[in-house]
Amino acid sequence: MSVLAPAARRLRPELDTLQGVWESVVGPRQARLLVAGRHYTFEFVGGDLYMGTFDLAAGHMDMHIAEGPPEHAGRFVRCLYSLDGGVLRFCAGRPGSDRRPTEFSDANDPRNLSLVFRRVNRQR
């Protein structure tokens, strides 16, 4: 018998699908995302690096910034996400705000960070 709550069991396939390396293909800045378990590393290419943990709920992701720019470290970011095969749509609110975006915004919308990622297939 599984000890996971029903909601956690439903989200397990999405958590499994998120694992790995993702690169942005649409967005205001080039970015990379690495997901390992419930840990993430988010890098703006040539810029800031964020590391922390995250929790999932249906279509929602709450990211805790454990390491990053001093003004963001220790804060949470409320996000939306959508997975479709090897494509991840991601829209983040402002660090430290309890406001989650209500919809996926345009990549040029200054109110939220909106990115589209593709999974990176590593050659072995």
Q: Which residues contact 122 (CB under 8 A, 6 or more apart)?
A: 21
Residue 97 inside a domain? The answer is yes
When the pLDDT of each residue in the chain is averaged and rounded to a whole number, the result is 89
Residue 41 inside a domain? The answer is yes
Evaluate if residue 4 carries a pLDDT over 70: no
Q: How many domains does the chain have?
A: 1
Evaluate if residue 85 carries a pLDDT over 50: yes
Q: Which domain holds residue 59?
A: 19-118
Residue 50 inside a domain? The answer is yes
pTM of the predicted model as reported, rounded to 2 decimal places? 0.85
Residue 5 inside a domain? The answer is no
Q: Which residues contact 123 (CB under 8 A, 6 or more apart)?
A: none
Residue closest to 40 by CA, chosen among 50, 48, 30: 50
Residue 2 inside a domain? The answer is no
Q: 112: domain CATH number?
A: 2.40.128.20
At 16-43, the pLDDT tens digits run: 999 999 999 999 999 999 999 999 999 9
